[in-house]
Amino acid sequence: MSQMIATSKVKAIIGTGITGLSVARFLAAQGQAFVLLDTRSNPPNLAKVQEEFPGVSIICGELDVDTLLACDEVIVSPGIAIATPAIEQAKVAGVSVVGDIELFVRAAKAPIVAITGSNAKSTVTTLVGEMAKTAGINVAVGGNLGTPALELLNDSVELYVMELSSFQLETVTKLNAKVATILNISADHLDRYENMRAYILAKLRVYFGAEHIVVNRKDVLTHPPLAAAVKPVFFGGNADFGGFGLIQDGEEFLAKNLTPLMATKELKIRGRHNMDNALAALALGDAAGIPMDAMLTTLKRFAGLRHRCEFVAEKNAVEFYNDSKGTNIGATLAAIQGLARNPQHLIVILGGEGKGQDFTELTPALRAINSKVILIGRDAPVIAEAIGDAAAIMYADSMQDAVNKAFASANSGDAVLLSPACASFDMFKNYEDRGEQFCLAVQELIAS
């Protein structure tokens, strides 16, 4: 390998997962030499990588600094922290360290709508994509959601709608999006970031070079630095002359400035937080040039995504909602506040891997709705200590047990919400598996 590096420019791809594979395919299509590295001794995609790239060197285990220093660019997958010592040494030595999104931005010819935030990214990204499709725009949707960014590249695409994580944004120099947003900011990934400031700074990179900026009226952490040259468009809360919000005109409406657009009762997605998602999508689509009639048509038929405040079923007037994608406190707070219907109880299933979060942030919302909590997973004791007497607490050792206990403690008119505020890997394959098991448990309950 050293001989190959000495005689030609070579790029290093760190990570052989979905993103790493997309980078390898992209570079191979360009005739670019590369090596693949993975910090795991036996990565799960190893056989596939060897089959697809038989002539490429693959180095598994601890990152080799000399290999990185011999390359002209290092492309890091989002799951690998750029603070890893070997990567830091390469950066200090002047080696370019980027991610797949930087490569995507260099190659993309169509405008980009860039969407990040602690919560609701997938819902808003999908919604804007559906709005563009309704308008007849040739749109490509992906990034952190679904298809990796580099596999979306196509000269026929007229608009890219991209969900971007903080991990992806860390390695972007200048995104230059047509329109960019941070939907919201709440504590997340503090097991990777030194502190909240570092996490917020990673998110703020989405605004670098943006033509239009969309920010959350109710969340000052989403606002760009004061020195930003672009005037932001706001969404959320009560409407004013600064963007998109809610207005009362006999009934509640989504509005642009002070002009009513459609009654909120016409939305198919449920919960107050989904009104903010609808307003964010309208603001993004409007800035991207999507016609208003197409956007409103889409809002009237968009039923939401799996595992995101998804209505599952009802038994004896008790409703069940699957919000397994609620993997942090901010997402769970949004779900609780969106579905709260006093004086009925909301029975919330919480727990999993807590990622270093402060669960005392849940207590005001839990206390306000006279809630009950069922705890599952590794950090159940941590959550119980944090919420104290803010809710009646029960424990469950499986998802079926949690669903059964929730139903047994419910009264007519109550709702059961799975919104764990935690990662899923202590008990499940991923959040999708957790949500599917919740849905199966509900169906078994109904059939019993």
Active site residue 273: no
Beta bridge partners of 142: 162
Question: Residue 112: enclosing H or E segment and its boundaries?
Answer: strand 112-116
Neighbouring CB atoms inside 10 A of 397's CB total 11
Bridge-based pairing of strands 10-14 and 33-38 is parallel
Q: Which of 11, 119, 144, 216 is catalytic?
A: 144
User: Token match 């998110």: residue?
Assistant: 203
Q: Which residues contact 429 (CB under 8 A, 6 or more apart)?
A: none
Q: Which of 11, 119, 121, 372 is catalytic?
A: 121
127/432 Cα distance (integer angstroms): 20
Active site residue 154: no
Bridge-based pairing of strands 259-263 and 96-98 is unpaired
Please provide the DSSP assignment of 298-367 as one string.
HHHH----TTSSEEEEEETTEEEEE-TT--SHHHHHHHHHHH--TTS-EEEEE-SB-TT--GGGGHHHHH
**Side chain identity at residue 66, one-letter code:** D
User: Token match 């079923």: residue?
Assistant: 313
Backbone angles phi, psi at 162, to 5 degrees: -120, 125
379/352 Cα distance (integer angstroms): 6
Active site residue 216: no
Q: Which of 11, 178, 189, 405 is catalytic?
A: 189
Cβ 239 vs Cβ 257: under 8 Å:
yes
Structure tokens at 29: 């299509």
- State the burial class of residue 411 (Cβ atoms within 10 Å of its Cβ: 0-12, 13-18, 19+): exposed
Neighbouring CB atoms inside 10 A of 361's CB total 17
Closest CA to 334 of 188, 211, 155, 165: 188
Q: What share of the chain is helix, strand, coil (3-state, %, to 5)?
A: 40, 20, 40
268/303 Cα distance (integer angstroms): 5
Neighbouring CB atoms inside 10 A of 262's CB total 18
Q: Is the peptide bond before 291 cis (omega within 30 degrees of 0)?
A: no
Catalytic (active-site) positions? 121, 144, 189
